[in-house]
A and B are shown apart, each in its own frame.
Chain A
């Protein structure tokens, strides 16, 4: 970004209508549902990875995964029976997180009989793969058996790309843009940036943004066959997700959802909302499948450019970044990612920010990952700590020089002020967001 553009952003930051803050959070994660449980699990390094018997039965090479627990009981509490008949796991996670973020923002869940529409609130809730459980368990077997007539009315809304955001719109009577983005593993981070930009542009006052990914072996099978899932720790599920580690052998499939209630500072101040953090800025790009980039590998120049653009958009000095929430999946890409962070932020191993990986505890929730990790950033900024990156006692040799920046136990950082979060995805796509603790 040019200096002029940067000055433009700085000037824009003086106008509360153009500043975007986080005023509500909702999370459904394999290691904890709800903010209290998730914060505690992150702080204490609790893994949500478990053995999944179905994967073993179906001869997956990776038989562990991250699945949020206690969803059935929560679902009955949150949703009408008629709604439940048309909600797969991706919908349940995403809608629980959205309702929680809404309530956490101090808003009341609307009565279905009340015809008030929230014209100034929208949603961008993405998914990487979507409702493959519905497709695999019902749609495809029924159609192949010539039983199309028996599918009923609930198929389309469960497999359509925008199914989750559409359901959330009805639950919360949203009247602004309601859509679902999809950009593989950068989806969740991208949704937050897009929502932030919409509010900055003055097109919405409030946006529910994030991602959701269902628990479906059909979604995970392709990754297993690509041999990118961890197959070395099936007998020790909690140790299977090993980002930054020399013994990292692939990612652990995860699932869940997280939603951030973004709001213009003006709106938040007018209604006296509790503010967690400010979204200082962000950037989204693609490496064009060039310079080493491909459908499945990132162009390092694209990654670094995305990080630099995010820093410029936030109108901060890279020195101000205290901690990095990496994409860090536990594949061979981890060392390259760390090198890209160092280059883009112009930070040497000696003054490198703290760097951590939420995936070490929850696995890789694909389209939800960036949202789950962004919620973790906001919670850590609020409470002044960086959660551990578990299972990397044996730091990868190429990352070893950054060892001092990797927390193996929780790192209390009362001065934690600014965090940067990136997500990278198949298609050579990148998204990077910067959050700052809100000081009243």
Chain B
């Protein structure tokens, strides 16, 4: 899976939780999931579970805690897939 494909899937998974549609329209690697996209912090748990299902990976709590931006998520998934 290419990085672009992973990025697109991550955005698709995050999308239902996003409260700031404008920030989503301009989404990039450095877009912060909580601060820019205004995702409720409690919902990060659900987003991580969806990553696990979509990419068939397991994400430890420590790894999950390090995900702040969309780019962080893409990098984590790439690492798990490799």
Residues of A with Cβ closer than 8 Å to B? 80-82, 85, 112, 150, 152-154
Contacts and interface: CB of A to CB of B under 8 A. Distances in A.
20 contacts: A80-B19, A81-B15, A81-B16, A82-B16, A82-B17, A82-B18, A82-B39, A82-B43, A85-B16, A85-B17, A85-B43, A112-B19, A150-B49, A152-B45, A152-B46, A152-B49, A153-B42, A153-B43, A153-B44, A153-B45
A143 to B, nearest CB: 15
A130 B10 CA distance: 34
A42 to B, nearest CB: 37
B37 to A, nearest CB: 11
Contacts of B44: 153
A81 B46 CA distance: 13
Best-buried of B19, B40, B46 by chain A (most CB within 10 Å): B46
B46 A154 contact: yes
B40 A82 contact: yes
Contact of A153 (B15, B18, B19, B46): B46
Interface size bracket, B side: 10 to 19
Contacts of B15: 81
A246 to B, nearest CB: 53
A81 B14 CA distance: 11
A114 to B, nearest CB: 13
Nearest to B52: A150
B8 to A, nearest CB: 18
A351 to B, nearest CB: 59
B68 to A, nearest CB: 18
A332 to B, nearest CB: 47
Interface string B1-43: 0000000000000011111000000000000000000011011
Contacts of B43: 82, 85, 153
Contacts of B49: 150, 152
6 tightest A-B CB contacts, nearest first: A81-B16, A152-B46, A153-B42, A153-B45, A82-B17, A153-B46
Nearest to B39: A82
A292 B18 CA distance: 56
B79 to A, nearest CB: 21
Given A85-B17, A150-B49, 15 more contacts: A80-B19, A81-B16, A82-B16, A82-B17, A82-B18, A82-B19, A82-B40, A82-B43, A85-B43, A85-B46, A112-B19, A153-B42, A153-B45, A153-B46, A154-B46
